[in-house]
Amino acid sequence: MLAVQSSPQSFGMQGEPDLRATAVSLGFTCLYVAIFIPLYLVRTLAERACVLENKLVGASFQRGIEVFRANPGPVLMVFLIEIGARLVFILAVGGLFCAVAFAVTLLAAASQSPQVIGSLTSFMLCCFTPPLLVVGGVMQSYSSSLWTFAWLGWTSPKPTETAALTS
């Protein structure tokens, strides 16, 4: 965000950051996050209500809001666990990808041939697309399982409630 440049630019390498544009960008980012996170949480909980409790769309959103209001701390904790797991996966896979890309770049630079650079780049893209798709699927299944198990823990009747219902 600090690289947002003011309108009068010179042809030099130095540019003056426009603090007004930075403030506007930061404001929009904070507004986006303040709106995105609660909507994401309610949508995720509504998906669980729809699938696990066989509710229709409107009822599932009401149930998701109900569960969110009953368990705001645990819901935010599960959200933070999901974000942390995604970051770990991204760093691990991204680090591996960067290391291989660096090795391919060194190999291509050693050959000094544009055809070799193009061939190695194509090879790298063809070889890394399937593993990236698999990692994305693993991350999605982990996230869905995490939210489903958390939902079952929040909505299952407690032993004291079950005993009170039977007596």
Domain boundaries along the sequence of the chain: 18-70, 72-157
Residue 17 scores a pLDDT above 70: no
- Scored b (16 or more CB within 10 A) or e, 55-84 reads beeeebbebbbebbeebeeebeebbeebee
Q: Dihedral of CA 30/36/39/40: which sign?
A: negative
Contact 17, 6 (CB under 8 A): yes
Contact 139, 85 (CB under 8 A): yes
Query: When comparing pLDDT for 76 and 128, which is higher?
Result: 76
| pLDDT one-digit tens code per residue, 64-107 | 999 999 999 999 999 999 999 999 988 988 888 888 878 877 87
* Integer CA distances (angstroms), 163 to 48, 118, 155, 159, in order: 26, 69, 16, 6
Quick one: pLDDT at residue 1? 44
Query: When comparing pLDDT for 26 and 17, which is higher?
Result: 26
The residue type found at 32 is Y
Quick one: pLDDT at residue 95? 86
